[in-house]
Amino acid sequence: MTYIDTVLQERLKEFYEKSRRLTILTGAGLSADSGIPTFRDKDGFWTIGSVNYMPEEMGTYEMFLRKPLEVWRWFLYRFNICLKALPNTGHFAITELEDLFADRFRLITQNVDGLHFKAHSSKERTFLIHGTLENARCGNECSSELYPYPQIPIEKDQELTSAQIELLKCPKCGNYLRPHVLWFDERYNEKYFKLDSSMRVAKETGLLLIVGTSGATTLPQRIVESVLSRQGIIVDINPNENYFSGLALKKKNGYWLKGKSSDVLPEFVHFFRTLMTQ
Ligand SMILES: [Zn+2]
């Protein structure tokens, strides 16, 4: 084993024997190997007229109210990248861990790209805490119904046609639909983003693998802290130093495996599969 040393192997074995739950928390770094750009790279920026907008400005309810069609063009462009992307070794390793642990497994993801489901993670054990680009809902909240995401192929600088614009309207009230994702100026809730459910998952977690997320948002931080407070083990899998790697290094139950998820996760599959067949 390249990443899981003998000390961690012992800890994983103890965890397995205690019959506690395995939870995996994933973020944008996992999908980087599938060619999905993160919000913070150059593809995240958007030009309207002569003004360059940051992703943190485009992905807000405030911008949607001011410029709904520009926000839609930006999200449609992103969605089309996701639609073409394929899951990578990391996603498939997560599905294999779900197969091995079955009901002792939960997946909490910040990713809206749909790649976990393309890799056959189950909908029942997956918590989409930032929503998903597979759905849209009424931007005016006339109901909480989720609609299929409008499939409109557009290029970066292409304008929407009037027929395409019609596809962006709520079938019930005629206002614009919105992508079913958590925007930068919105708060987590249970109804759409499974806030309470994912905190309950954290309480039952004996081993948390944190994959490709840097800890920039509050719910992932709360999940990790909750696991640590109940003597759970946290393992941060990330090639780069980040908030969680720093936290892991400070805690006796914390580990940082400095590597790519597509290299590290298959080791966990191998380790647990061997353990379970002994
Ligand atoms: Zn509506």
CA of 101 to the centre of ligand 1 (A): 40
* CB contact at 8 A, 90 and 30: yes
For every residue of 24-39, which 3-state class applies, written as one string? EEECHHHHHCCCCCCC
pLDDT tens for the chain, 278 residues: list them: 899 999 999 999 999 999 889 999 999 999 988 888 766 666 667 777 788 888 888 899 999 999 999 999 999 988 888 889 999 999 999 999 999 999 999 999 999 999 999 999 999 999 999 999 999 999 999 999 999 999 898 887 789 999 999 999 999 999 999 999 999 999 999 999 999 999 999 999 999 999 999 877 789 999 999 999 999 999 999 999 999 999 999 999 999 999 999 999 999 999 999 999 98
CA of 126 to the centre of ligand 1 (A): 27
CA of 123 to the centre of ligand 1 (A): 26
* CB contact at 8 A, 123 and 194: no
β-bridge pairing 126-128 and 131-138 = unpaired
* CB contact at 8 A, 263 and 239: no
Separation CA 209–CA 271 (nearest Å): 14
Torsion sign over Cα 7, 121, 126, 192: positive
- Residue ranges and CATH numbers for the domains of the chain are 1-36+87-130+187-278 (3.40.50.1220), 37-84+136-181 (3.30.1600.10)
Whether 130 sits among the annotated catalytic residues: the reply is yes
Give binding residues for Zn(2+) as ranges.
Answer: 138, 142, 170, 173
| Residue whose structure tokens are 């839609």 | 72
Separation CA 35–CA 31 (nearest Å): 7
